[in-house]
Structure 1
Amino acid sequence: MLTLGPGASRRRPSRSQIAARLGASLLGLSCIVASPAAAETLQGALAKAYQTNPTLNAARANQMAADENVPIQRAAGLPSVQINSTYNENVLIPGGQFVVIPRTLNTQGQLNVPIYQGGLVKNGIRAADARVAAGEETLRATEASVFSQVVAAYNDVLRDTQIVEFNRANVRNLGVNLRATGDRFEVGDLTRTDVAQSEARLSQAQADLRNAEANLIGSKERYIQQVGDVPADLSQPPPLPGLPTDVAEAVEIAIKENPDIAAATKNSEAAGYDVKAARASRLPTLSGFGNVNRNDNFGGARANIPINIPAAQQSAVIGAQLQLPLYQGGRPAAQIRQSQARQTAAMENQIGTERGVVSQVRSAFASWRASLDVIKSAESAIAANSLSLEGVRAENGVGNRTIIEVLNAEQELINAKVILATARRNAYVAGFTLLAAMGNAEARDLDLQGITLYIPKDNYRRARGSFMDWSDRAAPMIRSTRTVATPAQSAAAATADLDAAGAAPR
C-alpha cells in the first residue's frame, strides 16, 4: 500500500526535504531485498533511463544548441576583422597603354567596431539568455516526464505480472475443478450442466490468461522502450514520501516549482526583449572602421613615359560611420507589431500552462487519493471473498451450494485481486505524477547512484565564455542504447499451464 514516507506531517516540507526523502527512499530499496543480487530496483531503472533514454539525451542536445544563441547574439556587438586579397593576371593587354601592369595583388584589411546599435545587441542577448533559462526549465520537465513514464512502465510490469499469475492459478484451479466435476458426474453426483459450467468457466479463464499475457508483453516492451533494457526480477517500489496532505498545498507548491510554468514565464520575458530589439531598427547606429590596403605589382609594371611606378603601394584610413534611418517602407513598425503580438501569445501561453498544471495537479491528487481508497476496499474485498469462497466450497461438499456458486466465488476473488494490483499501480503512478507536477521528481531529487548528473549551466558557461571562431565541440555521437537487439518479450510458463488445464476431460 502506498503511504507517506517517514517524517511526513501536515506542515509542507521544503523542496530540499522532499528531494532528500525521495532520494533516500529510492536508495533504501537496494537494502530491502538482499537475496537476489540481480534484482532490478526502481532507482536502477531510473538511472538507466537518465543515461540512455533518447528523448532525454535529445533534449540535452537541444539545450546545448540553445546555449549557443547567446554568443551568436553577442557577436553582433563585437569587433570584426577580415582580410581580402585579390590577384589579377592581365592575359590580354590592349595596345596604346602608357602604363602596362601584367599582374597585381591587392590585399585589404578591414576592422569594424560597433559602437551603438540602438539596443539591438543588448536586448538580443537578454532574449537569448531568457530562452536559455526557459530551455533549462523545459529540460527539467522532460526529465520528470521521462521518469514518470519509467515509473508507469515499471509498475505496469509489476501489475501485469501479478495479474498473469492470478490468471494462471485460476486456470490451474479450474482445471482441477473440471476434473473433479467430471469424476462426480461419472458417479451421478452432478449433472451434465455442472460439467458444462465448469468447462465454460475454464475456457473463459484460458482466454483471460491469454489477454493478461499479451498485456504483460506490451508492458515489458514499453519498459524496454523507456529504460533500454529488459525488465528482470523487478523489486517492489518503495513508498513515495513528501506527498501533500491536501490539494491546495499541492497546487501552491506546483505554482512555485513546476518547470513548465517557469519555462513559460521565461519565454514571456524573452518575448518582451524581442519587442525592444525590434524597436532598435528605427534608431541610428554608429560604428568605427579602419582599412589598410596594399597593392603589389611585383615590380613588373612597364611605362612608355618616364615615370616612376613603385612595386607596391600602401594606404590606410580610419573613420566612423553614422546611419540614421529615415524611411524603411514600414518594415520596422511591422516587425515591432509582430513582436508585440508574439509577446501577447507568450503571455497567454503562460496562463494556459498554469491552467494545465493546476488541472494536472488536482487530477493526480484525486487519482492518488481515490486509488488509496480503492486499495483499502480491495483488501477488504479479498479478505471477505476468501472467507466466502472457503464457506461456499465447504457447503458445496455437503450439497448446499451448486458448482456455479463455487465458480462465481472463485471469480469474485480473482477480480478483487486484480482490482488491488491495479489500484496499487495507479496509486503509485498518480503519486509520482503528482510529485512531478510539483517539480519534485527530477534527477536532482532522486539521488540516483552511479551516474554523473548533467548540469546544463556548465555548457552554458562554456558557450558564453567562447569568443574564438575556431572552437568546436566534440564530434556528434549517440549516447542512447538501441533496443533492436533485445529479445522479443514473452510471458514465461504460459504454455505449460494451458496444456495442463487443457488435458482435463470435456
Structure 2
Amino acid sequence: MLRKLSLAIAVSCASSAMAGAADMPLPTRTGLVSVYQEAVNNNADLAAARASYDAQKEIVPQARAGLLPNISGGADINDTRTSIDQPSAVISRSGTVYRATLSQPIFRADRWFQLKAAKDVNEQAILQLSATEQNLILQSAEDYFAVLRAQDNLASTKAEEAAFKRQLDQANERFDVGLSDKTDVLQAQASYDTARASRIVAKRQVDDAFQALITLTNRDYNSIEGIVHTLPVLAPTPNDAKAWVDTATQQNLNLLASNYAVSAAEETLRQRKAGHAPTVDAVAQYEKGDNDSLGFTNPNYTGQSFHGSVEQRTIGLQVNIPIYSGGLTSSQVREAYARLGQSEQQREGLRRQVVENTRNLHRAVNTDVEQVQARKQSIISNQSALEATEIGYQVGTRNIVDVLDAQRQLYASVRDYNNTRYDYILDNLRLKQAAGTLSPGDLQDLSRFLKADYNPDKDFLPPDLAKEAAKNFERPTER
C-alpha cells in the first residue's frame, strides 16, 4: 500500500499531540491593540522621551524671562573705622542699608531672538515626541508579529520533523524487507536529525520573540492572537509612489521636526548678531538706611551730615553699547552660521532618506502582494511535486535523496509564504510611518483579522492548501 508523506499528513501528525488537550480551556490570548496599550503605559523608551520633552519645553519660559521685569532685594551691613593722623582721631561708622531694585528690559534684541528660537526648539521637541510615539506603534506591531512569525516557523518545522520521521520509519521498513539499502536509512536519518535540530532552534526563537514583547511592555505573555489567512492582501491606496512621496515630504514627523530645527538655527544666528546691538533697560531702585551707611551730606551745611534714617529713590535708563568683547560676539556669529548650515544639510539628508524609504516601501508592499499569492501557489506546487516524487521512489524511478530534497523544498516554501505574509503587514505599516500617517487606528484595523483561538500547529497554513494540492495531484491521473 502506497503511503504518501504529503503536507496534510505531516500537519496532522504535528498537531495530533494537541488532540489530548482539546477539552482543556484555551489560555487567554492577548490582542495587538492590548499589547500596544501596555507599551504606551509601560515602555521605558517612551517614558524617557516624555521626560525629555518635559525638560526641553522649559526652554521657552526660561527665554521669556529675559524679557520680563526682574525684581531683587538686598541689604548691606557695614562697619567702617577710619584713622586720621592730624589731628589724631579714629572715626567709626556703621549701619544697615536695605534696597529693592526693579529692572525692565526695553530693548534687548538678542533676548527677543532667543525667545523665538526657544519656541522653534519647543515645536521641534513636540514633533520628536510624536515621532517616538508613532514609532512605538510600529515597534509594537513588529514585536507582536515577530512572535507569530516565530510560532508559525516552529509549527512548520515540527511538521517537517514529523514528515522526516515518517520517511525514516519507511526507509527502515524498506531496508528490513530488502527493498532498499542502508544508504537510504542513513540519508533519512540525517534529514530527520537536521529537522530536529531546526525545531529546537525554532523553539528558542519563539521564546526570544516573547521576551522582546515582554521587554517592550514590561508584562508577561503566554499566548497572543494570531492573524487569519483571510486578511486582504491589497496594493497600497493610492497605488502611486509619487503621491506617497508627496505626503511623506509634507507629513513625515521627523522631517517636520527638522524644519523647526532650521528655524531655530536661523533665530539663533539673529540672536548672535544682535550681540553687537546696544541694550536699554529701565531701572528703579529704592534704598533705606541710616546716614552713616548712605553717606548723605546736608548741602546747606558743608561738612555736616544727617543722623538717623535716610531714604533714596532712583528711576532711570541704562544704556549699554558693546564696543569690544575680545572677539567673543564675532566668534559666536561664525559658529551660528556653521550651525545653520549643519541643520540645513541634515534636513536635506533626512528629506532624501524619507523619499528613498517611501519609494522603497511602496515597491516592497506591491512586491509583497504578488509574492503572497506566488508563495501560496508554490506550496501547492511543491506538495504536488513531493507526492509525485514519492510515487517515483516507490516504483524505483526516484531515489530517497530526491524525496528528501522535495520535502525540504516544500517546507521552505511554507516558511517563505508565512514570512511574506508578515512582511506585507509590516511593510504596510512602515510605509504609513514614512508618510507620517501611521496611527493606532491602523492597529485597530489589523485586530479585526486576529483569531482568538489561533493554534499555530494547525493554522500556520491556509485551510484550503491541502485540498488544492490534492486536486492538482489527482487531476493528471484521471486523464
Alignment of 1:123 with 2:113, yes or no, is yes
CA distance change for structure 1 residues 232 and 247 in 2, over 3 Å: closer, same or farther?
farther
Q: Does structure 2 conserve the Cα–Cα contact (< 8 Å) formed by 1:107 and 1:295?
A: yes
CA distance in 1, matches of 2:110, 2:175: 93
Residue 111 of structure 1: CA displacement? 1.1
Aligned to 2:65: 75
Aligned to 1:196: 186
Higher relative contact order (CA closer than 8 Å, sequence separation 6+): 1
Q: Does structure 1 conserve the Cα–Cα contact (< 8 Å) formed by 2:361 and 2:430?
A: yes
Aligned to 1:433: 430
Residue 239 of structure 1: CA displacement? 5.9
Aligned residue runs from structure 1 range 19-30, under 5 A: none
CA distance change for structure 1 residues 286 and 308 in 2, over 3 Å: closer, same or farther?
closer
Q: Which of 244, 258, 274 matches 2:252?
A: 258
**The residue matched to 1:40 in structure 2 has which SS?**
coil
> What residue ranges of structure 2 are gaps of 5+ in the alignment?
1-24, 293-303, 446-455, 458-479
CA distance in 2, matches of 1:411, 1:348: 50
CA distance in 2, matches of 1:59, 1:105: 51
Residue 59 of structure 1: CA displacement? 1.4
Structure number, greater radius of gyration: 2
Q: Does structure 1 conserve the Cα–Cα contact (< 8 Å) formed by 2:103 and 2:283?
A: yes
RMSD across aligned positions (CA): 3.0
Q: Does structure 1 conserve the Cα–Cα contact (< 8 Å) formed by 2:83 and 2:91?
A: no
**The residue matched to 2:76 in structure 1 has which SS?**
strand
Aligned residue runs from structure 1 range 45-64, under 5 A: 45-64=35-54
> What residue ranges of structure 1 are gaps of 5+ in the alignment?
1-34, 299-306, 449-490, 493-506
The percent identity for this pair of structures is 23
CA distance change for structure 1 residues 446 and 74 in 2, over 3 Å: closer, same or farther?
farther
Aligned to 1:234: 224
Aligned residue runs from structure 1 range 312-323, under 5 A: 312-323=309-320
- Answer 1 or 2: which has greater helix percent: 2
Q: Which of 75, 78, 89 matches 1:85?
A: 75
Aligned to 2:376: 379
Q: Does structure 1 conserve the Cα–Cα contact (< 8 Å) formed by 2:291 and 2:306?
A: no
Alignment of 1:404 with 2:401, yes or no, is yes
Aligned residue runs from structure 1 range 242-391, under 5 A: 243-296=237-290, 310-391=307-388
Residue 164 of structure 1: CA displacement? 0.7
2:261 maps to a residue whose letter is N
CA-to-aligned-CA distance 1:183-211 (integer Å, 9 cap, x gap): 22112122111111110111111122122
Residue 132 of structure 1: CA displacement? 1.1
CA distance in 1, matches of 2:210, 2:357: 27
Aligned to 1:466: none
Q: Does structure 1 conserve the Cα–Cα contact (< 8 Å) formed by 2:83 and 2:90?
A: no
Q: Which of 85, 95, 101 matches 1:104?
A: 95
Q: Does structure 2 conserve the Cα–Cα contact (< 8 Å) formed by 1:140 and 1:442?
A: no
CA distance in 2, matches of 1:148, 1:294: 66
CA-to-aligned-CA distance 1:318-376 (integer Å, 9 cap, x gap): 21111122333333222222212211221111111100101111122222222222211
**The residue matched to 1:325 in structure 2 has which SS?**
coil
Residue 120 of structure 1: CA displacement? 1.5
CA-to-aligned-CA distance 1:33-83 (integer Å, 9 cap, x gap): xx9683222222222212221211211221122211111111011111111
Scaled by the length of structure 2, the TM-score of the pair is 0.77
Aligned to 1:66: 56
Aligned to 1:393: 390
**The residue matched to 2:28 in structure 1 has which SS?**
coil
Scaled by the length of structure 1, the TM-score of the pair is 0.73
CA distance change for structure 1 residues 217 and 297 in 2, over 3 Å: closer, same or farther?
farther
CA-to-aligned-CA distance 1:210-243 (integer Å, 9 cap, x gap): 2222332332222222233234322235669964
CA distance in 1, matches of 2:441, 2:112: 33
CA distance in 1, matches of 2:419, 2:118: 46
Aligned to 1:213: 203
CA-to-aligned-CA distance 1:265-298 (integer Å, 9 cap, x gap): 1111111111111121111111111121222599
Q: Does structure 1 conserve the Cα–Cα contact (< 8 Å) formed by 2:291 and 2:305?
A: no
Q: Does structure 1 conserve the Cα–Cα contact (< 8 Å) formed by 2:233 and 2:369?
A: no
CA distance in 1, matches of 2:413, 2:63: 62
Residue 447 of structure 1: CA displacement? 6.8
1:133 maps to a residue whose letter is E
Q: Which of 104, 112, 134 matches 1:113?
A: 104
Aligned to 1:38: 28
